[in-house]
Amino acid sequence: MDFLIEYGMFLAKSATIVLAVIFIIGILTASGQRQRKTGKKGSIKVTRLNDHFDEMRETMRLSVLDKEHLKLVHKDEKKQEKAEQKEKKEQLKKEKLKKEKQGEIEDSAVRKKRVYVINFKGNIAAEAVASLREEITAILSLAAPQDEVLLRLESPGGMVHAYGLASSQLLRIKTEKIPLTICVDKVAASGGYMMACLADRLVSAPFAIIGSIGVLVQLPNFHRVLKKFDVDYEMISAGEYKRTLTTFGEITQKGRDKVQEDVETIHSIFKTWVKDHRPSIEIEKIATGETWVGVQAKERYMVDELKTSDECIIAACETADVFEVEYEFRKSLQDRLGNVFEGTADRLFSKWFEKPTDDIYQ
């Protein structure tokens, strides 16, 4: 009798697990179908950074200042706010009179300057360009020449064609004659500098890594290993230079020379690109593949100012409405679950690896 009870409990548990798995699969499938029906890739998120910094400042005041001091500060701010509103009304009246006399003028002439902040954190494939193109499209639908785009750029470089596309996206801003400021806090090297040199104003942190104006091709070759073990590698192609250097094929001097020629050509185009957009630099002295920290880069006219992006944004908030624009791709339920599992695994591994270190220093 006990056996039958235990067996029944086992069946019940098994059925529960199977039903739970079927339920989860059903949710995942339905989620995927809903996404396909909507056809939306993602959405634009806009944050007014003026409000963000005001909240931070107010929190600090409430914690640090005494009540009487805080009261005086708020009183002064209200006075200043009233004066600004009065000045704005007078300006609007003047502009209204101009409209009546000269005809319609653009809306941008009577409003406050706007600064749009975007971020680009690049990897080898410049995958962040997918968000960058959407963010720039959104900004250009509203921005005027009196406004400004501020890009916080971080990239060690990568594939030529990928960073070429990213640079082309920035050119869209310049084509619309909207000022472009690029801030580099950590690194803008190789393809990253290809993007950075497009700035009307290029700002670097003092110890950010700048430069690496060069081109690199590298790959392992296993031809001799295959030959040693009598393994044949067949490749059929049409066109003399369809394949030059390959991972498994024999590398010929002719193929090596062709790749070298291609690398030199791309390097020449890269140098011309940088020189066209930053004419003050001595291109032959900096196009050596070397990198410099921000202080050295400024001496070589590779950047214009030494500041962090935080300084630039806070300064902009004093005179303009500053908005951070982010394009967020819609994540499927599968992706979200995957991120949860990945995060859990990372935390477990981190704790596992950190524990011996903690024991050593106890």
Residue 18, number of CB atoms within 10 A of its CB:
10
For the segment 297-310, what is each residue's pLDDT rounded down to a tens digit?
Answer: 999 999 999 999 99
The residues with which 187 forms a beta bridge, in sequence order, are 209
| Average of per-residue pLDDT across 263-267 | 97
Query: pTM of the entire structure?
Result: 0.77
Domain boundaries, the chain: 55-100, 111-212+290-329, 214-287
Mean per-residue pLDDT of the chain? 84
CB distance 136 to 118 below 8 Å: yes
Find the mean pLDDT for residues 324-342: 73
CB atoms within 10 A of CB 262: 14
Confidence of residue 328 (pLDDT cuts 50, 70, 90): very high
Known catalytic residues are 190, 242
Backbone φ/ψ region at 157: left (φ over 0), alpha (ψ -120 to 50), beta = left
Q: Are strands 42-48 and 321-329 parallel, antiparallel or unpaired?
A: antiparallel
Q: How sure is the predictor about 362, in pLDDT bands with cuts at 50, 70 and 90?
A: very low
Of 119, 309, 122, 294, the closest CA to residue 211 belongs to 294
Q: What is the DSSP letter of 287?
A: T
Q: Does 3.90.226.10 match the CATH number of domain 111-212+290-329?
A: yes
3-state secondary structure of 247: coil
- pLDDT confidence of 360, banded at 50, 70, 90? very low
Instruction: From residue 109, give the alpha-carbon distance in Å to each of 106, 146, 176, 200, 304.
Output: 6, 8, 17, 22, 29
- The percentage of residues in the chain with a pLDDT greater than 70, rounded to a whole number, is 77
pLDDT value at position 72? 83
pLDDT band at 65 (very low <50, low <70, confident <90, very high): confident
Q: Which of 116, 191, 203, 107 is nearest to 156 (CA)?
A: 191
**Model pLDDT for residues 277-288, shown as the tens digit of each residue:** 999 999 999 999
Least confident span in 59-63, 142-146, 181-185, 194-198:
59-63
Q: Which range (106-115, 221-230, 341-350, 353-362) has the least confidence?
A: 353-362
Instruction: Report d(CA 299, CA 22) in Å as an integer.
Output: 64
In degrees and rounded to multiples of 5, residue 179 shows phi and psi of -55, 135
User: Looking at per-residue confidence, does 30 or 161 come out higher?
Assistant: 161
Query: How many whole angstroms separate alpha carbon 123 and alpha carbon 115?
Result: 26
> What is the chain's alpha carbon radius of gyration, rounded to the nearest angstrom?
29
| Distances 287 to 103, 156, 214, 283 between C-alpha atoms, Å | 52, 16, 6, 6
Q: How far apart are CA 88 and CA 110, in angstroms?
A: 9
Asked if residue 88 has pLDDT above 80, the reply is no
At residue 3, the pLDDT reads 56
Whether the pLDDT of residue 124 is over 60: the answer is yes
What is the C-alpha to C-alpha distance for residues 159 and 175, in angstroms, rounded to an integer?
24
Give the mean pLDDT of 345-362.
46
pLDDT tens per residue, range 2-45? 655 665 666 666 767 777 767 776 666 665 555 555 456 899 99
The dihedral sign for the CA sequence 108, 111, 113, 119: negative
Contacts of 205 (CB under 8 A, 6+ apart): 184, 185, 186, 294, 306, 307, 308, 309
pLDDT at 16: 76
